[in-house]
Amino acid sequence: MPKNGMFAAFSTYQHIERKVHMALPPDSIVINRKRNSIIDSLFDSDEEDMIVSKPRKPKKQENMEPEPEQESHRAMAMHILGIFMALSSLLLLLSLISYTPKDEANADMTIYDIISVLKGDPAIQAKSDTTQNWLGLFGAVFSHVMFNGTVGYFAIIVPFLGFLWAKDVFFSERITSKTFKFTGLITLIAILFSGLFGTMQLIIPKIPYEWSGLIGQFESHVLASFLGKIGALLTFMVVLFLTITLGFGISIKTSVNAVITAFMNISMIVDRAIDFAQRKKQTQTLNEETVEEVTSEVQSSFAMLSPDTDEEPARIIRKRTQGLSKNENIIHSQSDQVPVIIRGNELLEDEEPMFVNFTRKQRPLPKKTEALPTVEVPVKKEVVQPKHNLTEDEPLLTLNVQDPIVNTEDMSEKEIAKVQSMIHDEEIDYDAPTLDLLTQQHEHVIKVDDEELKENARLLQEKLRTFKIEINDLQVTPGPVVTQYEFVPAAGIKISQIENLSDDIALALKARGIRIIAPVPGRGTVAIEIPNHNPSMVLFSSIIKSSKFHDVEQRLPLALGKTISGEVYCADLSKMPHLLIAGSTGAGKSVGINTVICSLLYKMHPKDLKFVIIDPKRVEMTYYGLLRNHFLALSPDVDEHIITMPQNAVAVLKSLCNEMMNRYDILAKVGQRNIVDYNTKLKEGKFKDSELELKKMPYIVCVIDELADLMLTAGKEVEEPIIRLAQLARAVGIHLIIATQRPSVDVITGLIKANFPARISYQVASKIDSRTIIDGPGADQLLGNGDMLYLPGGAPKPVRIQNSFLSTDEVENICMHIANQQGYTTPYMLPTAIDKSSNGGGGGSDSRDELFVDAARIVIRHQQGSTSLLQRYLKVGYARAARIMDELESAGIVGSPNGSKGREVYLESEMELETYL
């Protein structure tokens, strides 16, 4: 570089640095970066402190110019070294991930054996040909040494650290200090993990040696000789815990709280598993005369921990709704403006509180009941007060649900299978969930500012007039989330002209989610829905308290939310009769499903309703597993309360189809057309002369949370029973609620869509998805957070509703309230979907291979179902091993083939195998 150019650049640097120095206050000249953890220090710059000081004098010219030839040679050497390090790390990674214990015999080689490979020794060549490692003998030897001679499987960190070192060498031309520190921390954690698993091997010898390696074995034996096995295990756990928390800068207090919470959850799961095992064992051995005595002994641990439910007061639900009176015109009549009228709900009178009691005996009424909080009406400063407080002398509307009394005769053996899944004979004392289980907070109704309504109306008129669209009779209906502007277009205006202006109106009003309804069905008007700047939240408790929810004409009421005019909207699932829900992630679909299920839990008794819940995501419906002995219907073919596996979902749907056909057989024999007529006449005792032992049929609601995942994994196996249930199950009280976040035509097929007339759409990604779910646009313009369009069956246009909000804590409170009560001794069982005439389960033992039992023990011991495993341990050929594996699948011991992975093993111990056989 020329001297003049160099000094000019240096002078510029001095000038900039002087500016920085002068701009900074004296207190901030030294900036100390506080390190919170080792990891924070790893990603800091090499200089701990940045000091802004006076510029240093420039060095001599000859020292500032490096030798270009020497520098280029060094950089090239470091680049080549980094590439070779990355290549070596990649080869080591491939050898480690392709490790298999089958190569142990081939990996036991000396240096002379390795040299013999080059000489073409046939014995060594045979070993090389049978090696399964991707890198041949080298990979088998190296992975064997790493996994068995070092820290076990945790040696997998070596190639990843090699990649990190290669990156530093290639880009920085040196190994940075943070890489050294990070390598040391990860290596220490791997050594501690190997010692932990080595100590666990002393307690549980079945743990493979590769989990600890030689170093872990050495650590565990040394520490166990001083502290014993348990002491060594606890020491390794504590030291590992402190190393991870301090090394990664995690708060020790937060980590301890997380560990305690995890242990509490695990203990709860173990407690439930033990409780389930006790129930299953005792219900199989006891007869009908001793069921009542055993029930108290095998009550769930949740019921033992909960307070006595008999001391709870009677449940009183007050129903009080309030409305807005009509406001004055917000735009005065002028020569060039259309008068605007704000419409609201008329003031509703207070209603008497409703007493809901599902118990067999009349409970004593409380001496005094707390009045629910009132809400101020924003338009008029009036508060709707209750007419009077309840006292002991006032009569209450009671709803006593009684079992039908029917004189029946014993069934023949042929008819037992037909009604084996009917409702239980036993009666339970059940208290419905109450409002105190929900979050006690006021529904904050935010009044839409009149000035905002005026301005929006003015902008709307001006924008439409810009496109030569004149309007008349503009009326405004403010709602909790959106406000509807409804008007009559002038003569000669085409509806299509208005429909195409949604983006222009949104631009003028600076709003998102503009939806145009042209025309409004039955009104002869056009409506434009514009979001409010300050939306109000609709609480689930406000819907439960409304009179519409307690309408006796609705058999399966669903509390959907409030319309744009603020009116409570409830729908009857029995009239839908099936519901299809779609919405993208975060639009409120999961909250909507919870409100649907919980609204039925608030309304129905366990003997009138059962749920079949399929949750492929495994996390959304976990709490409803607590309702096993109250509201859940289970299939004997699966061992899950909340169905998560696709193959179990197929089995449950087929069981529902069998349940549907069984119910149709019963209805045909008693001459009834639907479940309502059957249950009504059964309660009136009109089937006394029937030869069947008839029982009440409960409604069954099947909830599928994610149809797209099931269609992707099961496809036709899932679609066929869904279509069959949607076509036929309505009359026998079986209803489907299916939700998906991807409403494409390959998920919602034509047959599925044709049998689901009632649909709900939350916000979706595109207009194509909107047309798929509700047969028209609009869902892509929704606001999210529970904003939805509900299309009733046979309706020309969907209804816009703001879904009520129900938190996860409230769902947990409702489920725990029900689970803490005494449920039925056994859950409601659906008929099996397995053909008993086929050789399944324990049948067909005479035709099994003589090595069947030995093969079953091998796959259970290794928890891996593969044909090669049977070949290796039973010393049989592939054909026979494959035939034995098919027999194990038919017997229900292993699952179906899973590609390159081994089959899933359903039994966990040989003791279970002996019981099964």
- Tens of pLDDT, residue by residue over 682-714, are 888 888 766 777 889 999 999 999 898 888 887
Per-residue model confidence (pLDDT) at position 68:
64
Residue-range domain boundaries for the chain: 3-64, 576-663+695-829, 845-916
Residue 832 neighbours by CB under 8 Å, 6+ apart: 635, 636, 637, 655, 658
Per-residue model confidence (pLDDT) at position 313:
36
> Helices then strands (H, E): number in the chain?
31, 20
Residue 643, amino acid: I
What Å distances lie between residue 542 and 272, 314, 346, 400, 806, CA to CA? 34, 20, 18, 24, 11
Higher pLDDT, 812 or 313: 812
By the 8 A CB rule, do 666 and 599 touch?
no
Residue 789: in which H helix or E strand, if any? strand 787-791
pLDDT band at 275 (very low <50, low <70, confident <90, very high): low
Nearest-angstrom CA–CA distance, 792 and 97: 55
Nearest-angstrom CA–CA distance, 277 and 634: 16
395 upstream amide cis, omega within 30 of 0? no
By the 8 A CB rule, do 870 and 819 touch?
no
Residue 217 in this model has a pLDDT that exceeds 80? yes
Helices (H), 467-501: 495-499
CATH number at 576-663+695-829: 3.40.50.300
Residue 16 in this model has a pLDDT that exceeds 50? no
Per mean pLDDT, which range of 743-747, 876-880, 898-902 is the poorest?
898-902
Nearest-angstrom CA–CA distance, 474 and 337: 10
What's the full length of the chain, in residues? 917
Residue 676 in this model has a pLDDT that exceeds 50? yes
Under DSSP, the state recorded for 902 is: P
Q: Could you give the 3-state DSSP secondary structure of residue 536?
A: coil
Per-residue model confidence (pLDDT) at position 119:
65
Closest CA to 52 of 20, 83, 81: 20
Q: Could you give the 3-state DSSP secondary structure of residue 192?
A: helix
Residue 40 in this model has a pLDDT that exceeds 80? no
Exposed, middle or buried: residue 589 (CB in 10 Å: 0-12, 13-18, 19+)?
buried
Query: Can you name the residues that pair with 611 across neighbouring β-strands?
Result: 632, 701
Per-residue model confidence (pLDDT) at position 733:
94
Per mean pLDDT, which range of 255-264, 494-503, 888-897 is the poorest?
255-264
By the 8 A CB rule, do 483 and 476 touch?
yes
Mean pLDDT value across residues 400-412: 36
Per-residue model confidence (pLDDT) at position 678:
92
Domains 576-663+695-829 and 845-916 are alike in CATH topology: no
Closest CA to 778 of 789, 787, 786: 789
Nearest-angstrom CA–CA distance, 700 and 721: 15
pLDDT band at 581 (very low <50, low <70, confident <90, very high): very high
Nearest-angstrom CA–CA distance, 736 and 730: 9
Q: How many CB atoms sit inside 10 A of residue 187's CB? A: 15
Per-residue model confidence (pLDDT) at position 738:
95
pLDDT digits (tens, 9 = 90+) for 593-647: 999 999 999 999 999 999 999 999 888 898 999 999 999 999 988 888 999 988 8
Residue 674 in this model has a pLDDT that exceeds 80? yes
pLDDT digits (tens, 9 = 90+) for 903-914: 888 888 888 887
Residue 591 in this model has a pLDDT that exceeds 60? yes
pLDDT band at 115 (very low <50, low <70, confident <90, very high): low
Alpha carbon dihedral 753, 758, 760, 765, in 10-degree steps, equals 30
pLDDT digits (tens, 9 = 90+) for 625-640: 999 999 999 998 888 8
Residue 580 in this model has a pLDDT that exceeds 90? yes
Percentage of the chain beyond pLDDT 70 is: 70
Residue 385 in this model has a pLDDT that exceeds 80? no
184 alpha carbon, distance to own chain's centre: 38
Per mean pLDDT, which range of 393-402, 463-472, 748-757 is the poorest?
393-402
By the 8 A CB rule, do 887 and 848 touch?
yes
Closest CA to 596 of 575, 579, 584, 608: 579
Per-residue model confidence (pLDDT) at position 442:
58
Higher pLDDT, 193 or 18: 193
Q: Which structure tokens are listed for 113? A: 């054996």
Nearest-angstrom CA–CA distance, 444 and 441: 9
Residue 412 in this model has a pLDDT that exceeds 80? no
Per mean pLDDT, which range of 299-303, 454-458, 758-762 is the poorest?
299-303
Q: Which structure tokens are listed for 652? A: 């449950």
Mean pLDDT value across residues 113-120: 65
Residue 28 in this model has a pLDDT that exceeds 70? no
Residue 505 in this model has a pLDDT that exceeds 80? yes
Per mean pLDDT, which range of 83-87, 277-281, 327-331, 739-743 is the poorest?
327-331
What Å distances lie between residue 868 and 417, 648, 875, CA to CA? 42, 27, 10
By the 8 A CB rule, do 787 and 763 touch?
yes
Nearest-angstrom CA–CA distance, 679 and 746: 39
pTM over 0.85: no
Mean pLDDT value across residues 226-249: 89
Q: Which structure tokens are listed for 14? A: 């001095």
Which range scores top for mean pLDDT: 125-134, 508-517, 550-559? 550-559
Per-residue model confidence (pLDDT) at position 665:
92
Residue 106 neighbours by CB under 8 Å, 6+ apart: 127, 128, 130, 131, 137, 140
Sequential DSSP letters for 507-521: HHHT-S--EEESSPT
Q: Which structure tokens are listed for 815? A: 């489920």
Helices (H), 684-760: 707-713, 716-728, 750-754
Per-residue model confidence (pLDDT) at position 86:
92
Mean pLDDT value across residues 842-857: 73
Closest CA to 461 of 481, 428, 490, 440: 490
Q: Which structure tokens are listed for 604? A: 């129905």
Sequential DSSP letters for 81-128: HHHHHHHHHHHHHHHHHT--GGGHHHH---HHHHHHHHHT-HHHHHHH
pLDDT band at 306 (very low <50, low <70, confident <90, very high): very low
Per mean pLDDT, which range of 187-196, 421-430, 674-683 is the poorest?
421-430
Sequential DSSP letters for 664-705: HHHHHHHT-SSHHHHHHHHHTTTTTT-SS---PPPEEEEEES
Mean pLDDT value across residues 757-783: 90
Q: Could you give the 3-state DSSP secondary structure of residue 613?
A: strand
Q: Which structure tokens are listed for 473? A: 């009779």
Summarize the chain as % helix, strand, coil (round to 5): 45, 10, 40
Residue 734 in this model has a pLDDT that exceeds 90? yes
Nearest-angstrom CA–CA distance, 505 and 564: 19
Residue 403 in this model has a pLDDT that exceeds 90? no
Nearest-angstrom CA–CA distance, 327 and 451: 13
Sequential DSSP letters for 385-440: --S----TTS--B------------PPPHHHHTTSTTS--SS--------GGGS--
Per-residue model confidence (pLDDT) at position 50:
38
Q: Could you give the 3-state DSSP secondary structure of residue 278?
A: helix
| b/e code 613-624 from CB counts within 10 Å (16+ = b) | bbbbeeebbbbb
pLDDT band at 498 (very low <50, low <70, confident <90, very high): confident
Q: What angle do CA 647, 651, 655 make, to 5 degrees?
A: 170
Which range scores top for mean pLDDT: 44-58, 317-331, 343-357, 715-729? 715-729
Per-residue model confidence (pLDDT) at position 281:
58
Residue 552 neighbours by CB under 8 Å, 6+ apart: none
Exposed, middle or buried: residue 575 (CB in 10 Å: 0-12, 13-18, 19+)?
middle
Q: Mean pLDDT for the chain?
A: 75
Higher pLDDT, 792 or 291: 792
By the 8 A CB rule, do 317 and 353 touch?
yes
Higher pLDDT, 357 or 687: 687
Per-residue model confidence (pLDDT) at position 494:
84
Closest CA to 283 of 489, 426, 449: 426
Mean pLDDT value across residues 503-522: 82
Residue 658 in this model has a pLDDT that exceeds 90? yes
Strand (E) positions, 215-336?
Answer: 316-317
Alpha carbon dihedral 43, 48, 50, 56, in 10-degree steps, equals -120
Closest CA to 663 of 698, 637, 614: 698
Per-residue model confidence (pLDDT) at position 59:
44
Mean pLDDT value across residues 62-81: 71
Higher pLDDT, 767 or 357: 767
pLDDT digits (tens, 9 = 90+) for 150-194: 998 889 999 999 999 999 899 888 888 888 888 999 999 999 999
Query: Can you name the residues that pair with 515 across neighbouring β-strands?
Result: 529
Residue 768, amino acid: I
Mean pLDDT value across residues 381-407: 36
827 upstream amide cis, omega within 30 of 0? no
Which range scores top for mean pLDDT: 36-45, 68-77, 224-233, 606-615? 606-615
Residue 342 in this model has a pLDDT that exceeds 70? no
Residue 457: in which H helix or E strand, if any? helix 450-466
**In the chain, what is the straight-line distance between the N-terminal and C-terminal CA atoms, in Å?**
88
Q: How many CB atoms sit inside 10 A of residue 705's CB? A: 27
Residue 305, amino acid: L
By the 8 A CB rule, do 517 and 529 touch?
yes
Q: Which structure tokens are listed for 371? A: 């009045």
Fold of 845-916: Arc Repressor Mutant, subunit A (1.10.10)
Exposed, middle or buried: residue 407 (CB in 10 Å: 0-12, 13-18, 19+)?
exposed
